[in-house]
């Protein structure tokens, strides 16, 4: 992969001020920082973003999530609940291109930091607003976590085993989706600003970000009278496409639902007769007899070891993949060849593995430059170099607890 060595990412020169906490807004600005934006994260003095404390495992009492979601960012502390802190924020926003915030709608306005006020001083400002229910509508003032957005956006109901209550996906998908759409909105708004000189508001609601991923769920009901239900590991009427057992207790995802691919699978199984069996010969027939077909494949796969089955599927060009956990990802040659996992130096943990930047740009790729910063690590740098405060002013703000 070639790149311009002088280029620091396609968003180099874009200054982003991040307010808010936890995940949806910070994930948006993580994506922007990955591609070179100068992201300044504003945190409350003393305690900082609660994400600094989140995570199932906390070696050395430190979050393993924070170094990822705050990577490539600078941290300053400022108390936005004080007039002095609000003044600092206004001066910083006036020198910036993008504001990212995920407070409950109306919060920024109460602090005198709403879009109308900020754009009066900075007409090109793009304000990215991430919330549970959006900036308008009867639910806009409600608190809205990612889990609630996943539930109301339709995702939770269709995830899990049909015999159990709705399940969680396993990651904070609603927050991440809202953050991803917010980052897309920021880039689109910057494009328009470069053409017109005017900024705008990007309104990313978690429940709408989830809803955007729900495929044909709505017309299936309105036009077909069908409500999607939980189906576990399968997609109804798409067969075969399932997780199948192996003799050595492995799990393989085999997807052979196209007619041509299914014929290759039947050949790999030494059961070519399956491809002409009226129950399985066509896509529609396989969907109708999905349970029977899955039982046949599972009985066959259970007689072979995982690696052998992988080799057979690859030889016959049948899409296949092991169900990976972290150990398998770290040991996979393809992950290594593409540097899908990058290792970044961390002051406490040493070499810190994390997912690399996506998507990949051939000429101006993003990169991970550093892990999440210490609380307030860049306060003096930002307040002197960008906001223009004198050292005496900074000392006074620090003494009064504003920073």
DSSP codes joined into one string, 66-133 = HHHHTTTEEEEE--TTSHHHHHHHHHHHTT-SEEEE-SPTTHHHHTT-SHHHHHHH-TT-EEEEEESS
Q: Structure tokens of 97?
A: 């291109």
Q: Structure tokens of 96?
A: 């910036």
Please tell me the predicted confidence (pLDDT) of residue 62. Answer: 83
Sign of CA dihedral 24, 149, 358, 339: positive
Q: What is the pLDDT along the chain (403 residues), one digit of tens a residue?
A: 344 444 789 999 999 999 989 999 999 999 999 999 999 999 999 989 999 998 777 777 789 999 999 999 999 999 999 999 999 999 999 999 999 999 999 999 999 999 999 999 999 999 999 999 999 999 999 998 999 999 999 999 999 999 999 999 999 999 999 999 999 999 999 999 999 999 999 999 999 999 999 999 999 999 999 999 999 999 899 999 999 999 999 999 999 999 999 999 999 999 999 999 999 999 999 999 999 999 999 999 999 999 999 999 999 999 999 999 999 999 999 999 999 999 999 999 999 999 999 999 999 999 999 999 999 999 999 999 999 999 999 999 999 999 9
DSSP codes joined into one string, 126-167 = EEEEEESS-SSSTTTTS---HHHHHHHTTHHHHSS-TTSS--
Residue ranges per structural domain of the chain: 15-213+338-399, 241-325
The DSSP element (H or E) to which 283 belongs, if any, is helix 283-288
Integer distance in angstroms from the first to the last C-alpha of the chain? 43
Of 97, 175, 203, 294, the catalytic one is: 175
Sign of CA dihedral 377, 378, 383, 388: positive
Distance, CA of 391 to CA of 315 (rounded, Å): 68
Residue 380: active-site member: no
Angle at 46 between CA 34 and CA 95, to 5 degrees: 45
Residues 6+ apart with CB under 8 A from 383: 76, 88, 389, 394, 397, 403
Please, how many CA atoms are within 13 Å of residue 354, restricted to the half-sphere of its CB? 26
Number of residues in the chain:
403
**Residue 74: beta bridge partners?**
40
SS3 15: strand
Please tell me the predicted confidence (pLDDT) of residue 294. Answer: 97
Please tell me the predicted confidence (pLDDT) of residue 3. Answer: 44
CATH of 15-213+338-399, one of 3.40.30.10, 1.40.20.10, 3.40.50.10540, 3.40.50.720: 3.40.50.10540
297 contacts 253 by C-beta, under 8 angstroms: no
Distance, CA of 15 to CA of 40 (rounded, Å): 8
**Residue 51: beta bridge partners?**
none
Q: In Å, what is the CA distance from 204 to each residue of 24, 135, 212, 291?
A: 10, 8, 11, 40
Distance, CA of 102 to CA of 266 (rounded, Å): 51
**In CATH, what is the architecture of 241-325?**
2-Layer Sandwich (3.30)
Q: Quick count: other Cβ atoms within 10 Å of Cβ 120?
A: 10
Q: What is the 3-state secondary structure (H, E, C) of 255-267?
A: ECCCHHHHHHHHH
């Amino acid at each position: 992969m070639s790149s311009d060595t002088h280029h620091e990412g396609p968003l180099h020169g874009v200054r982003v001020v991040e307010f808010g906490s936890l995940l949806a807004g910070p994930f948006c600005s993580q994506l922007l920082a990955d591609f070179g934006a100068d992201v300044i994260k504003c945190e409350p003095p003393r305690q900082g973003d609660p994400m600094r404390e989140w995570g199932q495992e906390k070696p050395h009492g430190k979050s393993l999530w924070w170094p990822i979601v705050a990577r490539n960012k600078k941290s300053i502390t400022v108390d936005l609940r004080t007039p002095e802190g609000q003044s600092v924020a206004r001066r910083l926003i006036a020198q910036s291109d993008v504001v990212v915030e995920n407070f409950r709608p109306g919060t920024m306005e109460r602090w005198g930091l709403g879009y109308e006020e900020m754009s009066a001083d900075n007409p090109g400002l793009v304000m990215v607003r991430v919330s549970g229910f959006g900036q308008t509508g009867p639910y806009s003032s409600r608190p809205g976590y990612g889990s609630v957005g996943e539930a109301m956006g339709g995702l939770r109901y269709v995830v899990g085993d049909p015999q159990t209550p709705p399940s969680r996906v396993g990651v904070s998908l609603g927050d991440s989706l809202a953050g991803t759409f917010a980052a897309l909105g920021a880039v689109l708004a910057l494009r328009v600003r470069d053409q017109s000189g005017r900024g705008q508001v990007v309104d990313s609601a978690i429940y709408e970000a989830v809803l955007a991923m729900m495929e044909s769920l709505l017309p299936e009901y309105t036009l077909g009278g069908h409500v999607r239900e939980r189906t576990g590991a399968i997609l109804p009427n798409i067969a075969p496409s399932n997780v199948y057992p192996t003799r050595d207790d492995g799990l393989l995802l085999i997807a052979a639902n196209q007619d041509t691919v299914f014929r290759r699978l039947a050949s790999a199984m030494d059961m070519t007769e399956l491809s002409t069996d009226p129950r399985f010969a066509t896509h529609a027939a396989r969907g109708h007899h999905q349970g029977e077909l899955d039982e046949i494949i599972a009985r066959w796969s259970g007689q072979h070891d995982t690696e052998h089955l992988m080799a057979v599927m690859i030889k016959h060009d049948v899409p296949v993949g092991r169900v990976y956990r972290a150990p398998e990802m770290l040991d996979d040659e393809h992950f290594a060849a593409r540097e899908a996992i990058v290792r970044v130096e961390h002051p406490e943990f040493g070499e810190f593995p994390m997912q690399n930047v996506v998507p990949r740009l051939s000429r101006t790729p993003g990169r991970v430059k550093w892990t999440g910063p210490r609380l307030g690590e860049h306060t003096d740098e930002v307040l002197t170099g960008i906001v223009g405060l004198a050292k005496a002013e900074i000392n006074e703000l620090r003494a009064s607890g504003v920073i």
